[in-house]
Amino acid sequence: MYAFDVVRPSSLDEAVAALGEEDAQALSGGQTLIPTLKQRLAMPSKLVSLTGIADLQGVSADGGTITIGGATPHATVAAEAGSFPALAQLAGNIGDPAVRNRGTIGGSLANNDPSACYPAAALGAGATITTNSRAIAADDYFQGLFTTALDEGEVVTSVSFPVPEKAAYVKFEQPASRFALVGVFVTKSGGDVRVAVTGASNDGVFRWSEAEAALSGNFAPEAIDGLSVSGDDMISDLHGSGAYRAHLVGVMTKRAVAAANG
Amino acid sequence: MAEITLTVNGRSVTKSVKGNTLLVEFLREDLRLTGTHVGCDTSQCGACVVHVNGKDVKACTMFAVEADGAEVATIEGEAAPDGTLSAVQAAFQEHHGLQCGFCTPGMVMTATALLRDNPKPTEAEVRDYLEGNICRCTGYHNIVKAIMAASGQDVTSIAAE
């Protein structure tokens, strides 16, 4: 790793001020950032740790909405997001237990890894990502591979999920990394169906609109028989070709719908 | 450099560390607690698992300064001061839950964390919890058996494979 300082502010205001300095970077759970630093793929002058800020911690449910502090670790979401079982289950299957004790929802969403699980939940549930300066709808937040609507120095303070009537997340796990080779998060609220796919596209998480249209008329796995996504823009690597991932999108969507129907 | 104060195995420690010092480097090189191992250094293998404020974490993927003010427990603190092994350590010895022993500190710390939250896990729950701990001797069977035994469950029906 290159040399850098780490500061641990106890308030959001202090963190935002520290992030205003040149080449300062936010550090949440560090489960992606620290390996990146070890490979010398980043050279911050200063890391601003967010995990000591009490306001960014915790899970709260209010009516039909569940709100999670930006620096809340996956293990806490798995244990405390019981009012949105598909979300709790997703959090409880990220990485491994030790990783889940450090990695955070805000870190995952800010990084927007194309194979991460949380982007699928946020987009699939139509979450709102709140930062120190504004609220961003998930539909506007994800802007491609490792790219989000966040500005330089902007911090994810919380994520609010409207709890859907039915939901499920199913991932086909890459067994070494435990990231999603393909993961699909499906929600249904009244006639509104959302299908968010992670792990598959070169552009990162996306909504499969044809499947959403078919499922909003008939929320059953067979509703998407005959539908397919093109493999042309899919990630192709030694773990699976683009065509294979495109096939998995259909299979995982059917499984997610079946799971959501219980 | 930053000065940090933390409790390691019940003892208060104050040291100056560089920002990019990993917790595992601090434990091994500054405190000479070399029981915590570095296997992969990429948070895959779990040889470096320690407890920070009671939670199992990979010490290769956390900075020492992030442990400022925390309670850290390492394998060195698991046995009693007179050398009496913890229940998990004793079970690993009894059931031969190790081959070369390199992964063992991480396995013991992970297993101890599991049993604190889930005192009577099923075999499937044990195997699931060990997802982030790799034994390159592939000696998982006796590791799982040892953890089941440490939880006070009968392991006579777990046949050798």
Q: What is the pLDDT of residues A130-151, one digit of tens each?
A: 999 999 999 999 999 999 999 9
Q: Indicate whether A84 and A108 sit together in one domain.
A: yes
Partners of B55 in the beta sheet? B52
Q: Indicate whether A130 and A88 sit together in one domain.
A: yes
User: Among all residues of chain A, which has the CA nearest to that of B110?
Assistant: A98
What tens digit of pLDDT does each residue of B38-71 get?
A: 999 999 999 999 999 999 999 999 999 999 999 9
Chain A contact present for B72, CB below 8 A: no
Strands in A5-7's sheet, in edge-to-edge order, are: A5-7, A46-49, A24-27
Mark yes or no for CB contact B65/A6 under 8 Å: yes
* Backbone torsions φ then ψ of B30, nearest 5 degrees: -85, -40
Q: Indicate whether A93 and A182 sit together in one domain.
A: no
Q: Kindly provide the residue ranges of all beta strands, DSSP E only, lying in A70-133, ordered along the sequence.
A: 128-131
Mark yes or no for CB contact B58/A1 under 8 Å: no
What tens digit of pLDDT does each residue of B76-94 get?
A: 999 999 999 999 999 999 9
Q: At what angle do helices B140-150 and B87-94 cross, to 10 degrees?
A: 130
Among A134, A162, A190, residue at a domain's last position: A162
Question: Average pLDDT, whole number, for chain B?
Answer: 96
Chain A contact present for B157, CB below 8 A: no
Cα separation, B65 vs A4, whole angstroms: 12
DSSP codes joined into one string, A46-69: EEEE-TT-GGG--EEEETTEEEEE
Chain A contact present for B39, CB below 8 A: no
Does residue B160 register a pLDDT over 80? Answer: no
Let me know: does B6 contact B15? Beta carbons within 8 Å. no
Q: What is the mean pLDDT of residues A67-94?
A: 98
Q: Which residues of A6-25 are buried (b: 16+ CB within 10 A; e: fewer)?
A: bbbbeebeebbebbeeeebb
Q: Indicate whether A39 and A68 sit together in one domain.
A: no
Among A162, A189, A210, residue at a domain's last position: A162
Chain A contact present for B51, CB below 8 A: no
Q: Which of B61, B113, B133 sits opposite A30 (nearest CB)?
A: B61
Cα separation, B119 vs A162, whole angstroms: 35
* Backbone torsions φ then ψ of A233, nearest 5 degrees: -100, 15
CA B161 to chain CA mean position, Å: 25
Domains and CATH numbers, chain B: 2-77 (3.10.20.30), 87-150 (1.10.150.120)
User: Among all residues of chain B, which has the CA nearest to that of A98?
Assistant: B57
Q: Which residues of A touch B46 (CB under 8 A)?
A: 96, 98
Amino acid at residue number A107:
G
User: Among all residues of chain A, which has the CA nearest to that of B42?
Assistant: A35
Cα separation, B60 vs B103, whole angstroms: 14
pLDDT at position A38 is: 96
Q: What is the mean pLDDT of residues A51-76?
A: 97
**% residues pLDDT > 90 (chain B):** 96
Mark yes or no for CB contact B55/A176 under 8 Å: no
Q: Indicate whether A154 and A175 sit together in one domain.
A: no
What tens digit of pLDDT does each residue of B89-138 get?
A: 999 999 999 999 999 999 999 999 999 999 999 999 999 999 999 999 99
Q: Which of A35, A49, A101 sits opposite B57 (nearest CB)?
A: A101
CB atoms near residue B13 (< 10 Å) = 16
Chain A contact present for B46, CB below 8 A: yes
Q: Indicate whether A61 and A156 sit together in one domain.
A: yes
Mark yes or no for CB contact A98/B46 under 8 Å: yes
Q: Indicate whether A194 and A243 sit together in one domain.
A: yes
DSSP state of A151: P
Q: Which two tokens stand for residue A157?
A: 């303070």
CB atoms near residue A122 (< 10 Å) = 28
Q: Please report which confidence band the pLDDT of residue A165 belongs to, taking 50, 70 and 90 as the band edges.
A: very high
pLDDT at position B159 is: 64
Amino acid at residue number A217:
G
pLDDT at position A63 is: 87
Q: Indicate whether A192 and A221 sit together in one domain.
A: yes
Among A128, A162, A196, residue at a domain's last position: A162
Does residue A234 register a pLDDT over 60? Answer: yes
* Shortest Cα–Cα distance, B148 to chain A (Å): 18
pLDDT at position A175 is: 82
Q: Indicate whether A11 and A64 sit together in one domain.
A: no
Cα separation, B29 vs B16, whole angstroms: 13
CATH number at residue A125: 3.30.465.10
Q: What angle do CA A86, A91, A95 make, to 5 degrees?
A: 135
Q: Indicate whether A158 and A191 sit together in one domain.
A: no
Q: Please report which confidence band the pLDDT of residue B158 belongs to, taking 50, 70 and 90 as the band edges.
A: confident
Please, which residues have CB within 8 angstroms of residue B17's CB and are 6 or more apart in sequence?
B1, B2, B4, B26, B30, B64, B65
**% residues pLDDT > 90 (chain A):** 97
CATH number at residue A230: 3.30.390.50
Domain range for A138 is 57-162
User: Among all residues of chain A, which has the CA nearest to that of B40?
Assistant: A35
CB atoms near residue A41 (< 10 Å) = 9
Q: Indicate whether A180 and A253 sit together in one domain.
A: yes
Q: Please report which confidence band the pLDDT of residue A105 belongs to, taking 50, 70 and 90 as the band edges.
A: very high
Q: Indicate whether A151 and A238 sit together in one domain.
A: no
- ipTM over 0.85? The verdict is yes
Q: How many domains does chain A have?
A: 3
